[in-house]
Structure 1
C-alpha cells in the first residue's frame, strides 16, 4: 500500500486518472488477484505497473529477469516493452498460485516471450551465464542483499535493476530494526548507494522502488 493510498486516497485516484491506461488483460488480472488471493496487496499497483512499462519501452530490452512473479501483473507490464526478439524469465516458488499467472501469460500477446519458472532465484542466478538488460526484484526481502550480489555479474553497462518495497512501510527509518527483512532492506539501500559501479535513486512510489543503473 502506498503513502497516498493510506493517507490521501484522493491524490492516489488523481494520479491513476492522469496515468496511461492499463491494457484490459491487466485490468482483469488485477481484479482476479483481489478476488482469489489472500494477499492481493502484493501485486504491483496501477502506477507502478505503468512505471515498469515505460522503463521497459524506453530500454527495449532483449533479456529481462523478474524475481517474484506473484500473479504476473508486473511480468506483463515489463513484457510490453520487450524487443521483438526479447524474452523475460520470471521466477517464483509458489506452486499453489502457479495456475493464475500462467493463465494470463498464455492469453497474452507476449506468451511466446515469457518464460515462467517455478524455481528458486538464488539457484538460478548461481547456475546461469545469461546477462540481463533489465531486472525487477519483488520477492523475499530477507534475500535482497544476496540477490543484488548474485545479479551484479549478470549485468552489462547500462543494465537497470529495480528493487521493490525498499521503504518497507517507513520501517527503514528505524535506526535499530529487529525485523530481519527491515535489516536486509536497509543493508541493500546502503550497499547500493555506496557502490561505485552503480548509480541509483529511490522513488517514493507506493512502498518505494530502488532504481539502479550499472555504470
Structure 2
C-alpha cells in the first residue's frame, strides 16, 4: 500500500498521535509500528481514541465492524466498551487473526467479547442478515468502493436508534477535488450524497482521515 497524504499540515498528525493521544495500553503503539512496517492500513491513534470514547458513552450491546485489519480499531472500541459483543468481518484471515494475539498481549483477551468472521464484507451482509440486523452500532472501514452499497443495506435494515461510524470520509483530502476517474473518490462522494439526503443529523469528527457519525431515528 503506497503512503496516503494526511489531511493535516506536515508532521502535525504524527505529533498528535505520538504526543497528544492517551493510549490505555502500550500494545497500541506496538500495533502502530507493525502496521507501518507491513503497510497495513489502520485508523490513527486519535481516531481510535474517539472510537473508544464514543463507545464508552453509547455502550452498544452488539457492534458490527466491517474491515478488521489487524484489530487495532476493534481493540480501541473494546477497551471503551468491554461489555459489548463485537463481530468483525474481514476476508484476510491471517492478518485479522493478529487481533487475538494483540488482545492476549494486552491482557484483555478474557474480558472482551469478539467474534471474527472471515468473509467478503458484501457476502456477509447479504448472507447473514439475521445475525447483524440487531446490531446497535456499525463501524465501517473497508473497501471504499463498497461504501454506498453498504450504507444502503445497513440504513434500510438496521433497527431504529442504531449508530453508524464510517472512517476515511475526508479521503486524504480528496473530497475537496475528487478525481472522476477514481472509483474510490466517486464512492466516498456518493456516500456523502446519500448521507446528506437521508440522514437528519450527522457529525464529522476531523480526526485521522475523517470519522463520520450518525444515528437512525428512533420510531
TM-score interval, normalised by the smaller of the two chains: 0.7 to 0.9
Q: CA 1:175–1:30 in 2, change beyond 3 Å: closer, same or farther?
A: closer
Q: CA 1:125–1:24 in 2, change beyond 3 Å: closer, same or farther?
A: same
2:98 to 91, 97, 100: 100
1:17 to 12, 16, 19: 19
Say what the alpha-carbon RMSD is for the aligned residues. 2.2
What's the counterpart of residue 90 of structure 1? 88
Tell me, yes or no, if the aligned pair for 1:68 and 1:137 is still in contact at 8 Å: yes
3-state SS of paired residue (1:32):
helix
Q: CA 1:14–1:33 in 2, change beyond 3 Å: closer, same or farther?
A: closer
3-state SS of paired residue (1:47):
helix
What's the counterpart of residue 159 of structure 1? 162
Measured in 2, the distance between the counterparts of 1:115 and 1:154 equals 21
Tell me, yes or no, if the aligned pair for 1:102 and 1:116 is still in contact at 8 Å: no
3-state SS of paired residue (2:99):
helix
Measured in 2, the distance between the counterparts of 1:200 and 1:77 equals 22
What's the counterpart of residue 61 of structure 1? 60
Q: Which segments of 5 or more consecutive residues in structure 2 lack a partner in the other structure?
A: none
Higher relative contact order (CA 8 A, sep 6+): 2
Shift of 1:90: 0.5
Tell me, yes or no, if the aligned pair for 1:135 and 1:161 is still in contact at 8 Å: yes
1:3 to 4, 7, 13: 7
Measured in 2, the distance between the counterparts of 1:110 and 1:79 equals 10
Bigger proportion of residues as strand: 1
Shift of 1:8: 3.6
What's the counterpart of residue 125 of structure 2? 125
Shift of 1:125: 1.7
3-state SS of paired residue (2:95):
coil
Aligned pair count reads: 208
3-state SS of paired residue (1:80):
helix
TM-score (norm 2): 0.84
What's the counterpart of residue 79 of structure 2? 80
Tell me, yes or no, if the aligned pair for 1:131 and 1:154 is still in contact at 8 Å: no
Q: CA 1:102–1:171 in 2, change beyond 3 Å: closer, same or farther?
A: same
3-state SS of paired residue (1:61):
coil
